[in-house]
Amino acid sequence: MAVAGAPFAAFVMDARSGQEIYAQNADTRLHPASLTKMMTLYLAFAAIERGQVRLDSKFLVSSHAASQPPSRLGLKPGQRIELRYLIRAAAVKSANDAATVIGEGLAGSEEKFARQMTQTARALGMRNTNFRNANGLTAEGHYSTARDMTILGRRLFYDFPQYYSIFSRRSADAGIATVSSTNRRFLDGYEGADGIKTGYTRAAGFNLTASAKRGSKRLVATVLGGTSTAHRNAVMAQLLDAGFGKAPTRVREVRPAPPEFVAEKKVRRTVQVARVEPRQAQASASLSVSDRPVARASTVAVVTPAAISAAVSRAQAAAPAPAPSTGSTLSASARPARKPGTGAVANAAVDPEVLARAARPEARPEEGDAQEPISEPIEANRPVRAPRDGQSASLMPAEQPAGSPSLFVQTSEPQPESIALLETPAPAQRSETIILASLEPEEDNAPQATEIVSRSGNSEGKRWGISLGLFRSQGEAEQTLLRTALQENSSLGSALSRVASTKRGFEANFVGMTKDTAELACGRLAARQQDCRIIGP
């Protein structure tokens, strides 16, 4: 599956209702980069809530995990580290090694964890997403969309409110080091922003899924393919500004329903057909035919050629001495008659190529989602308790097959061929206490009174701007500003959009520019036959 290399895509959603507000290339499959870690963390939170692991469970660092390229925490092979520190490093610093350790610790291998990630994405309604690893490094067949990443961001907010505050942390204690947030600039620079995750690779460009709240409104948005951190943040600010202006003040909140996981029950059935070679009987010998063995109830009897030969030998030994025959010689033993109502093979001389044919599963896995065949029905298993200190944590119960998804709750009752597996309901809202934090308050969480960030754009030398004209409605003016910002991001730089209400209409302006920047931007817009006027101090 070919994935486009860093074209631009954006999607804005009203988090309260899940309704679309703005979309541009929203369903184009692109490289998500470290936005992938949102799903890694989603599965980690789900495992904690099911009681299969705890925040203090220690995970073993493999050589594969320790060898991941930056950004990374600096883990060493053979090291054991608590899950709480791995979560902080993956969410705040976007550490690739920490995300890989989480995946391996929960599923046993990153490959199996990636399959669980894709299965969960399908259950959440992410229809154009496929994962190949836990950290988001570029890989063939690893892709997502702006719409799907926005859906995932909303699910993190609603499904795990008790952990969501980790995404607004500017720094965190990751055990072996204090890490700083990769999203700090946007969190500090945009009013109401409280998350959620950044991402960058050369193939993906600069990505961001963000959430912000103003009054009763909350938006979740995703930008894929930004040209720089500043450009990505500026476009996200423009999208959210326009979204808050368009979103209704009062709307019915529609919380997402618990994800529905569906697995196909695959049972491998093997049918063996015995081929009996006729034996040359002694002269004047009469063989009695052994009775067909009675199969046990609810089982399938598999008859092998060796077993048939043994049965024939026992029949020969038990048979009475035959009367002499004058002229008739038997060349082979008589074949047993077919038992009425059974599926036995009428002719024993069957082509050997028919031996051992397994029944194929009725449903195929999703495209790109490799599945391991399950030879027997999965037995019911209760979640295992989290390992104590010094043990490697794993979500896979000892009796569970290695290929089965550890995210699912299974039942021992008989199920149809397509069985819906139970899922833990979304947790109720808890207190504002940061569960991922230590018991003692961290200094990094204290208000930073010495750093004041302003978006007024009226700093010395940046008192110029440009006007795009008057419009009949505020929404039309905002859409023009947003479209212009996406088309001319290189010339507009860090300029801010403003809609001024006048007696003649709504004026669309970009402000916070130097004189040179304003002249350059206005010249480029004029060349594209778009109205533009320079505004001086």
Residues 157 and 167: their CA atoms lie apart, in Å, by 10
Binding residues: 197
Determine whether 63 is an active site residue.
no
Strand order in the sheet with 505-513: 496-502, 505-513, 464-471, 533-535
- The one catalytic residue in 62, 94, 333, 394 is 94
- 3-state secondary structure (DSSP) of residue 264: strand
- The one catalytic residue in 34, 62, 333, 497 is 34
User: Which amino acid would we find at residue 521?
Assistant: A
Binding residues for substrate: 197
Residues 34 and 204: their CA atoms lie apart, in Å, by 10
Determine whether 438 is an active site residue.
no
- What's the token pair of residue 288? 């009695």
Backbone angles phi, psi at 256, to 5 degrees: -65, 140
- What's the token pair of residue 171? 């720094």
Residues 256 and 254: their CA atoms lie apart, in Å, by 6
Determine whether 298 is an active site residue.
no
Cβ neighbourhood burial of 461 (10 Å; 0-12, 13-18, 19+): exposed
DSSP code at position 127? T
Strand segments (E) across 398-504: 418-421, 464-471, 496-502
- The one catalytic residue in 37, 58, 93, 112 is 37
Which of 190, 193, 172 lies closest to 181, judged by CA? 172
Beta-carbon contacts of residue 31 (< 8 Å; ≥ 6 apart): 3, 5, 6, 138, 142, 143, 201, 203, 204
- What's the token pair of residue 208? 């961001």
Residues 193 and 186: their CA atoms lie apart, in Å, by 7
Q: Active-site residues: which are they? A: 34, 37, 94
